[in-house]
A and B are shown apart, each in its own frame.
Chain A
Amino acid sequence: MSSYYFTIIGTRDNPLYELEFSSFKAPASLIPGESHFTAKVKELLPFIANSSLDLVEDSQWLTPNFNLGRIDSFGGIWVNAFVTQGNVKFILCYDNPNSNNSLDNGISSGGSTKYDESSMKHFFNDAYDLYVKALLNPFYGANDPLVSPDFDYKIKIVAKKYL
């Protein structure tokens, strides 16, 4: 079961939102969605996300898509990214699903990665939708932190749906 760290980074490289969760597909812990990053990884996650920003900015010109796919990896953590039209970045870090038992399912690992990619794409698209709706709020200014509990709740629902 993989854990995820999702963060939204504004145009001035300022953090807007972050969320840690784990896959809801096979809840192993008592609290569904509780992330299983180790304490050491946990404190590294914001750095991993932010260090991939240069790669995001490089790769956003190479593809016509908003979804940039997997752009970085660091110590077993993979990083997927998405840029919005307003150049706000969505970064999703997750522990490599194949790192633990890559020997056991060498063949099927390709398939599972593909499946992850498409569900992450859907997750990003829905998160983008929610972000745009938050942006339409007249009380929200661009690059303000997203503190609305409603937004948080909806992102969690989307996470539960796809990841």
Chain B
Amino acid sequence: MGYNIGMRLIEEFLAKTGAQRCESFRETADMISKVGFKMFLNTVPQIENFSSDGTSFSLILTENPLAEFVELPLTQYPKIHKELWYSQLYCGVLRGALQMVQLDTDVYFVRDSIRGDDKTEIRLKLNKVLKDEIPAGED
């Protein structure tokens, strides 16, 4: 969910910021939180738990504009607290946007404060850097 949003969103991001190619995944992480999230959601998530090989990190959202007034219902569906990631959209958007800049990533929620967790954490894992490919028909 959100993948197509991300694919288009990166266009706006690049047009507005004129950002250059990132040298490392760490730089990408900074770009996502300090420029991307700031620009589209006006919040700056913290970057934490960078893995030692530098291919995965967590975004900690202190505020979540998507879920500002959301409270999961208690009574009707007991499964809702175990299976629903309300802000799953973020994962797709990040994955779509990063794919368009040649970064193949897995994005998933680890914790979400509206489920009663202490904070909202999105994990990003870099699978590989895709090769720049010239679109077919453009020599």
A-side residues, CB < 8 A to B, are 133-134, 136-140, 147-150
Contact = CB atoms under 8 A, between A and B. Distances in A.
Contacts of B69: 133, 136-138
Contacts of B72: 139
A88 B73 CA distance: 21
A149 to B, nearest CB: 7
Nearest to B72: A139
A134 to B, nearest CB: 8
A139 B71 contact: yes
Main secondary structure of the interface of B (DSSP, over half): loop
Nearest to B84: A139
A139 B70 contact: yes
A158 to B, nearest CB: 17
Given A137-B71, A139-B73, 11 more contacts: A134-B71, A136-B69, A137-B69, A138-B69, A138-B70, A139-B70, A139-B71, A140-B73, A147-B75, A148-B71, A150-B71
Nearest to A144: B73
Interface in B10-38: none
B70 A148 contact: no
Nearest to A139: B73
Centre residue among B68, B71, B73, B74 by max chain A CB count within 10 A: B71
B138 to A, nearest CB: 44
Contacts of B71: 134, 137, 139-140, 148, 150
Centre residue among B68, B69, B74 by max chain A CB count within 10 A: B69
A133 B70 CA distance: 9
Contacts of A138: 69-70
